[in-house]
Amino acid sequence: MTRSVRHFIAGKAVEGRSGRFGDVFNPNTGEVQARVDLASAAEVDAAVRIAVQAQSKWAQVNPQRRARVMFAFKGLLEKHMDELAHLLSSEHGKVLADSRGDIQRGLEVIEFACGIPHLLKGDYTEGAGPGIDVYSMRQPLGVVAGITPFNFPAMIPMWMFGVAIACGNAFILKPSEKDPSVPVRLAELMMEAGLPDGVLNVVHGDKEAVDAILTHPDIKAVSFVGSSDIAHYVYTTGAAHGKRVQAMGGAKNHGVVLPDADMDQVVKDLVGSAFGSAGERCMALPVAVAVGKNTADALIERLLPEIRTLKVGVSTDPDAHYGPVVTAQHRDKIKSYIRLGEEEGADLVVDGREFALQGFENGFFIGPSLFDKVTPQMRSYQEEIFGPVLQIMRAETLDEAAALPSNHQYGNGVAIFTRNGRAAREFASKVNVGMVGVNVPIPVPVAYHSFGGWKRSAFGDTNQHGVEGVKFFTKIKTVTARWPDGDVGDQSFIIPTMR
């Protein structure tokens, strides 16, 4: 019997009333394993009303006690790591090691949120004028929302709700309907950690639910991660309705390889970052730019045997390097980009389109593909493929290579591989991209820094998590105070009593 994935509102599972459902597949077999409720605008409104009531009380809980909930939640994440990883892999398709990494990177943001008492401390100036003191405080916005993608169903929700809730907000989470079960389980564990009912609510849905979130007057801020076209829509629609919005979009990350790089390490880094998690990562490295006359040929010579060692398998296979992609539609889209690259004149060195896993022929599998002699004019280069496809480009100089990511429509991440410190320093300073790795292929910042790209990779002025996340989910209030001289008389009516 196909199981049902319900909304999670006011601390319990709530059956949908819209009469609309989405299929949740097992990517390993191609079978439908669950149906997820899709919310109507009225159901989103009901969740928001509950969140409004819960937030007013949660905001009065002091930061130290809010931090204790985060500490307890961290412990529960560690206790349930294997359970969560298997659940995640069963719906997404990524191998268990990647699923554990997904959860771990989210857990690190929860660890950061445990320091919220320090992070919410304001500034104070004594004697800003004669008898005048000035101080500032950070206060929660109220009810905020997160709209998250399928590719990191644990990490990205925790990036958002961990910081937002620690700051005193209530949170409405609209996860991807493709793999919705882990976000619900995270909400259950938050309740077990001591979070009051209604502070974290999970509402499943499609565009109807998204639009209801973006236009609801009681939602003060929206955080989003997804494709750039949808990110732009989320940003413009939310901002038009008076909301604070951060919307992270797509990517086409480049790895610039200089002739002096450690080629053996570069090959391992490229294979892991281009093909790991089936390339379904906005911080994957799908483009390698080889600098110099012989660099590309030397790189491909080393890449080919490494690619041949890759094992594509079911998500529970401990020896598999990556598993299936999330849906049949996405697999077919990746194949269409490979066909497009061929038509555009790129050299298809390795073709993964015909891969099939014995015994799992109906699964959403695709093998690794490698292109050489890709040029900037090709649409297969200009657009995000989001699959296990690595494209090799050739440049004569570092300036020519750096111009490729700098001029691309996306500006999420970039990496440079070299032993030359001066070249790396200059590259990192000048390249027009938001996150840079130096001999680091996937430069995702640690939780106490922040994540965010440039250009069409991000809309809004504030990055995800870290101190930037605290700023996004709070508003600053500044108080200027002066106290009169002299006897103020009976003060008993203003002295608080301890309770």
Catalytic residue, chosen from 46, 96, 160, 282, is 282
Tell me which residue has tokens 């401990």.
318
Give the separation between CA 316 and CA 451, rounded to whole angstroms: 30
Query: Contact at 8 Å (CB) between 224 and 237?
Result: no
Q: Which residue has the tokens 């292929």?
A: 441
Q: In what order do the strands lie in the sheet with 3-5?
A: 3-5, 31-37, 21-26
- Indicate the helix (H) or strand (E) that contains 473: none
Which amino acid would we find at residue 437?
A: G
3-state secondary structure of 96: helix
Contact predicate 437/483, CB 8 Å = no
Length of the chain in terms of residues written: 499
* Separation between Cα atoms, residue 332 and residue 86, nearest integer Å: 25
Output the furthest CA–CA distance in the chain (Å, rounded): 89
The CA-to-CA distance between both ends of the chain, in Å, stands at 54
Cα–Cα distance between 138 and 261 in angstroms, integer? 46
Please tell me the distance from the alpha carbon of residue 195 to that of residue 317, in angstroms, as a whole number. Answer: 36
Distances (CA, A) of 38 to 26, 192, 326: 19, 25, 19
**114 part of the active site:** no
How far is CA 59 from each of CA 62, 171, 244, 441, 469, rounded to the nearest angstrom? 8, 12, 19, 40, 17
CB half-sphere exposure, 132, CA atoms < 13 A = 6
Angle between helices 181-192 and 63-79 (to 10 degrees): 130
The residues assigned a catalytic role are 282
